[in-house]
Amino acid sequence: MKDNKYSRRNFLLKYLKAGSMLAGAGFVLSYTSINSVAKGLAQSGSFNQQPPKKAVQPGQKNPCDDLTGVSAEEIEKRKKLAYVTKTPIPDSHCSNCTLYIPAAKDKPCGGCMLFKGPVRPDGYCAYWAPINN
């Protein structure tokens, strides 16, 4: 049988090759995109697992411990959640908790979605949940 260049077999082989090349190119492009997003997050510090350096000098009262204006009810919530100003677990702290509200620009204290008032980035409570879950 003569091999016709316009045969169904040639047509299918040609488009299978083209389809494979497109799928490979798509995989390479998506891998490259994921890598660049991950690099950007790493450079921005979003994957930083260490609590931020202390902005408060030794002997100076930490403004994140000042509960002036915070209601007794909100202070009680902190206690019930066992909030502490210094985490007992080095890799688990408020600043890498999914419930943490980062500090506004030029402010030393963040917040928590579970209660009102200032929160130390290196604090911790029983409801700590990792950011990347």
Q: Please name the residues in contact with 97: beta carbons below 8 A apart, sequence gap of 6 or more.
A: 112, 128, 129, 130, 131
Q: Does 83 bind ligand SF4 (CB under 6 A)?
A: yes
Q: What is the distance between the alpha carbons of residues 7 and 29, in angstroms, rounded to a whole number?
A: 33
Q: Does 123 bind ligand SF4 (CB under 6 A)?
A: yes
At closest approach, how far in Å is the CB of 60 from ligand SF4?
Answer: 22
Q: Does 114 bind ligand SF4 (CB under 6 A)?
A: yes
Q: Is-contact 93 51, C-beta < 8 A?
A: yes
Q: Does 109 bind ligand SF4 (CB under 6 A)?
A: no
CA distances for 66 relative to 18, 48, 83, 88, 92, angstroms: 66, 26, 14, 21, 23
Q: Which of 64, 103, 109, 112 binds ligand SF4 (CB under 6 A)?
A: 112
100-101 β-sheet, strand order: 100-101, 110-112, 115-119
At closest approach, how far in Å is the CB of 78 from ligand SF4?
Answer: 8
Is 56 strand, coil or helix? coil
Q: Does 119 bind ligand SF4 (CB under 6 A)?
A: yes
* Residue with smaller CB distance to ligand SF4, 20 or 48: 48
Looking at residues 87 to 106 of the shown chain, list those that interact with ligand SF4 (rule: CB under 6 A): 94, 97, 99-100
Q: Does 124 bind ligand SF4 (CB under 6 A)?
A: yes
Q: Which residues bind ligand SF4 (CB under 6 A)?
A: 83, 94, 97, 99-100, 112, 114, 119, 123-125, 127-128
